[in-house]
């Protein structure tokens, strides 16, 4: 792991660059507890994890005022364990998963805030709703069936490429969908306000394209092992 001092310096450099009003999730997946602690002590209290087991272990070991986002592919058999541990599940990638989160939240007697992950990259391997599926879901107002899930916005990843114009196009598409839903298809969804996009390599473009939540890992913690 990189030193606590480096983590703290990386964080302050990043924060000085990120415009006001943009929330920063420090992506701590695969990083040791000590790395999270170093970032926490440098003032960061919002972290992102991509595996349920890892999130639960870190949540137990670290200060209770840390807020956790789940950002990885969520397997249906892990939903129950995750409910109640997060302030936001960013990576809901199917209606089946959405219904299950709703059901488990109801059993637990709590509300769960989520983002829908939209697939705008041109890679086969990325999870998420296709733009058409997403629009249909909102046009048909199928979210009205949800009792305990709060739909808070969209999460997207751009194509993994050095071609920054392609990255911009992908983020632009997600941004367009976000506006279409929040302004026209479902303006009654009061919590639908978050557009999560941008990682270490591409966050400035994401912000230019309208992101208000960015998810940064390696630029804070160094490489993952």
Ligand X SMILES: *Cc1c(COP(=O)(O)O)cnc(C)c1O
List residues near ligand X by CB under 6 A.
27, 29, 50, 71-72, 157, 199-201, 215-219
Report the residue number, 34 or 190, with the smaller CB distance to ligand X.
34
Closer CB to ligand X, 2 or 219, in the complex: 219
- Nearest distance from residue 34's CB to ligand X, in Å? 18
- Cα 132 from Cα 118, distance rounded (Å): 10
Q: How far is the CB of 222 from ligand X (least distance, A)?
A: 9
- Whether 114 and 89 have beta carbons less than 8 Å apart is answered as yes
CA-to-CA distance for 10 and 222, rounded, in angstroms?
9
Question: Measured from the CB atom, is 185 or 195 closer to ligand X?
Answer: 195
Residue closer to ligand X (CB basis): 176 or 201: 201
**Cβ atoms within 10 Å, residue 8:** 17
- 42 vs 186, beta carbon nearer ligand X: 42
**Cα separation values, 145 from 77, 102, 140, 142, 148, Å:** 22, 9, 11, 6, 10
Q: Which is nearer to ligand X, 71 or 154 (CB)?
A: 71
Q: How far is CA 164 from CA 176, 195, 206, in A?
A: 18, 19, 11
Task: Decide: 126 and 119 in contact? Cβ < 8 Å.
Answer: yes
| Token pair recorded at residue 186 | 């479902």
Distance from CA of residue 1 to its chain's centroid?
23
The distance of closest approach from Cβ of residue 140 to ligand X in the complex, given in angstroms and rounded to an integer, is: 27
Taking every pair of Cα atoms in the chain, the longest distance, rounded to a whole number of angstroms, is 51
Q: How far is the CB of 55 from ligand X (least distance, A)?
A: 13
Picking from 43, 48, 50, 34, the residue whose alpha carbon sits closest to that of residue 14 is 43
Q: Measured from the CB of residue 64, what is the shortest distance to ligand X in angstroms?
A: 24
Minimum distance from residue 2 beta carbon to ligand X (Å)? 13
When CB distances to ligand X are compared, the closest residue is 217
């Amino acid at each position: 792991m990189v030193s606590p001092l480096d983590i703290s310096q990386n964080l302050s450099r990043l924060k000085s660059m990120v415009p006001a009003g943009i929330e920063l999730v420090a992506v701590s997946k695969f990083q040791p507890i000590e790395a999270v602690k170093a970032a926490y002590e440098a003032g960061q209290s919002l972290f992102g994890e991509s595996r349920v087991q890892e999130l639960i272990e870190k949540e137990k070991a670290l200060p209770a005022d840390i807020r956790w986002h789940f950002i990885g592919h969520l397997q249906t058999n892990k939903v129950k364990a995750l409910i109640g541990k997060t302030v936001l599940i960013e990576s809901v990638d199917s209606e089946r998963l959405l219904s299950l989160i709703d059901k488990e939240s109801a059993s637990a007697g709590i509300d769960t805030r989520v983002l829908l992950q939209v697939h705008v990259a041109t890679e086969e391997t990325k999870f998420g709703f296709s733009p058409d599926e997403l629009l249909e879901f909102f046009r048909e107002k199928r979210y009205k069936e949800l009792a305990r899930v709060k739909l808070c916005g969209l999460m997207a990843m751009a194509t993994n490429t050095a071609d920054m114009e392609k990255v911009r196009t992908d983020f632009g598409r997600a941004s367009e969908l976000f506006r279409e839903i929040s302004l026209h298809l479902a303006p009654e969804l009061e919590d639908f306000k978050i557009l999560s996009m941008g990682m270490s390599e591409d966050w400035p473009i994401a912000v230019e394209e309208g992101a208000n939540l960015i998810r940064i890992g390696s630029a804070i913690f160094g490489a993952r092992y």
